[in-house]
A = this chain, B = another copy of it.
Amino acid sequence: MPRFTLGELAALTGGRIAGDANRVVERALPPAESGPDDITFALDLRAHREFLRSKAGAVVLPEAFDRDGRDAIVTSDPRIALAAILGAFHPEDRPPPGVDASAVVHPSAKLAARVHVGPNAVVERDVTLGEDVIVGAGSFVGAGSSVGDRTRLHPHVVLYSLSTIGRGCILHAGAVIGADGFGYTRSGGRHVKIPQVGGVVIGDDVEIGANACVDRGTMTPTRIGSNTKVDNLVQIGHNSEIGQRVIICGQCAIAGSTTIADDVVLAGQVGVAGHLSIGRGAVAAAGTGITSDVEPGARVAGHPPMPLEDWRRAHAALRHLPRLRTLVRSLQHRLDTLEGGDSPPVAPPAPSAEE
């Protein structure tokens, strides 16, 4: 494990030193696990409280936080510093160029000079792999696919034929790109498959999570824009168009032929129906079931979705609904009495007769 002086780390982060620039740190750890030889991170108020209780020798924090007399890197963006410092302590372990003897690479595939193809990987005909591409152990790159420079396929990624992946992407284990979209038509009392021939096009600097699925389009490609991040076990249906810098958290499902504009955020387990348009910068809370278009910048929750604040209030009220019904019935009886004396001539309507 490498060791760094605080000064060296500060240089990576753009922050300034408060205290001893020559202090040596050996590990980067969360506040609760850090000791005198470690640097830790006060990213928010909670982490700052934990830092104050910790024995951390050094800390990264924003200007507004107290460094408690300890050596510190003070920065306007401690999360960027976290990324830089973790990268320094744990440089990515990229395997050296070369094709493992157990890999099966078709002679027509075009591999750049520094490509790594891992054990038992399979690269089919007419594939193009850019410079510094890594094809992890057991991964499969189908015929006619292309993978841009520096992109890494972790072990057990599957690219069906005619998948186009940009530069600097990361695809995690078990991700399946380009499987057939879910398209059938009913005829003669049975489901007939509609061929799915449109492929997938993924931009640059995209990350696709473990066991996530991006289906190929029916006639034209399913598309994912650059710098978009897709978490584990997400389903992206055929003919979808996902913009740039979109965040799609774990287990979201996007049905098909839906357009998601740039900078949208879908929290975990969101479902999006087909043939919709989600406007730029919209945010859907976890578990939202999106059944109609969403305006740019909207914040929605619920199923069907409503503005996030309305959802909060409506669901807080929901718990009291049974009591509200009881109250309304008592008001109804009191009103009957006021209107008609002690013995109303007709029975009041029974709103809950069928319960």
Docked complex Cα distance between A247 and B251 (Å): 19
Q: Which B residues lie within 8 Å of A251 (CB)?
A: 235, 251, 253, 271
A184, A302, A315, A316: most-surrounded residue (chain B CB, <10 A): A315
Partner of A213, one of B207, B232, B335: B232
Q: Which B residues lie within 8 Å of A259 (CB)?
A: none
Q: Does A331 sit within 8 A of B, measured CB to CB?
A: yes
Docked complex Cα distance between A283 and B327 (Å): 31
Docked complex Cα distance between A170 and B183 (Å): 13
Q: Which B residues lie within 8 Å of A351 (CB)?
A: 320, 323-324, 327
Q: Does A12 sit within 8 A of B, measured CB to CB?
A: no
The answer to whether B253 and A191 touch across the interface, beta carbons within 8 angstroms, is no
Please give the distance in Å from A139's CB to the nearest CB on chain B.
9
Q: Do most interface residues of chain A lie in helix, strand or loop, or is the interface mixed?
A: loop
Docked complex Cα distance between A229 and B327 (Å): 45
The answer to whether A250 and B289 touch across the interface, beta carbons within 8 angstroms, is no
The answer to whether B185 and A79 touch across the interface, beta carbons within 8 angstroms, is yes
The answer to whether A191 and B138 touch across the interface, beta carbons within 8 angstroms, is no
The answer to whether B29 and A122 touch across the interface, beta carbons within 8 angstroms, is no
| Size of A's binding interface in residues, CB under 8 A | 115
The answer to whether A318 and B318 touch across the interface, beta carbons within 8 angstroms, is yes
- Contact flags A269-313 to B (C-beta < 8 A → 1, else 0): 101010000000000001101010000000000111010001001
The answer to whether A220 and B83 touch across the interface, beta carbons within 8 angstroms, is no
Docked complex Cα distance between A215 and B339 (Å): 64
Q: Which B residues lie within 8 Å of A179 (CB)?
A: 154, 172-173, 209-210, 232
Q: Which B residues lie within 8 Å of A286 (CB)?
A: 255, 271, 273, 289, 291
Q: Which residue of the partner chain B has the closest CB to A102? A: B104
Docked complex Cα distance between A90 and B251 (Å): 32
- Contact flags A76-108 to B (C-beta < 8 A → 1, else 0): 010110110011011011000000101010000
Q: Does A66 sit within 8 A of B, measured CB to CB?
A: no
Q: Does A346 sit within 8 A of B, measured CB to CB?
A: no
Docked complex Cα distance between A310 and B304 (Å): 13
- Using CB atoms and an 8 Å cutoff, list the residues of chain A in contact with chain B: 28-30, 33, 77, 79-80, 82-83, 86-87, 89-90, 92-93, 100, 102, 104, 118-120, 122, 136-138, 140, 142-143, 154-156, 158, 160-161, 170, 172-174, 176, 179-180, 182, 184-185, 187, 189-195, 197, 205, 207, 209-211, 213, 215, 218-220, 227, 229, 231-233, 235, 237, 245, 247, 249-251, 253, 255, 268-269, 271, 273, 286-287, 289, 291, 302-304, 306, 310, 313-325, 327-328, 331-332, 334-335, 338-339, 349, 351-352, 355
Rank and list the top 7 A-B pairs by shortest CB-CB distance, nearest first. Answer: A79-B185, A104-B119, A90-B197, A176-B210, A179-B210, A86-B195, A158-B173
24 sampled A-B residue pairs with Cβ under 8 A = A77-B185, A82-B194, A83-B194, A90-B197, A122-B155, A174-B211, A176-B232, A180-B207, A182-B209, A189-B245, A190-B245, A231-B235, A233-B233, A233-B235, A249-B255, A250-B255, A286-B289, A302-B318, A303-B315, A316-B322, A316-B355, A327-B328, A327-B349, A334-B339
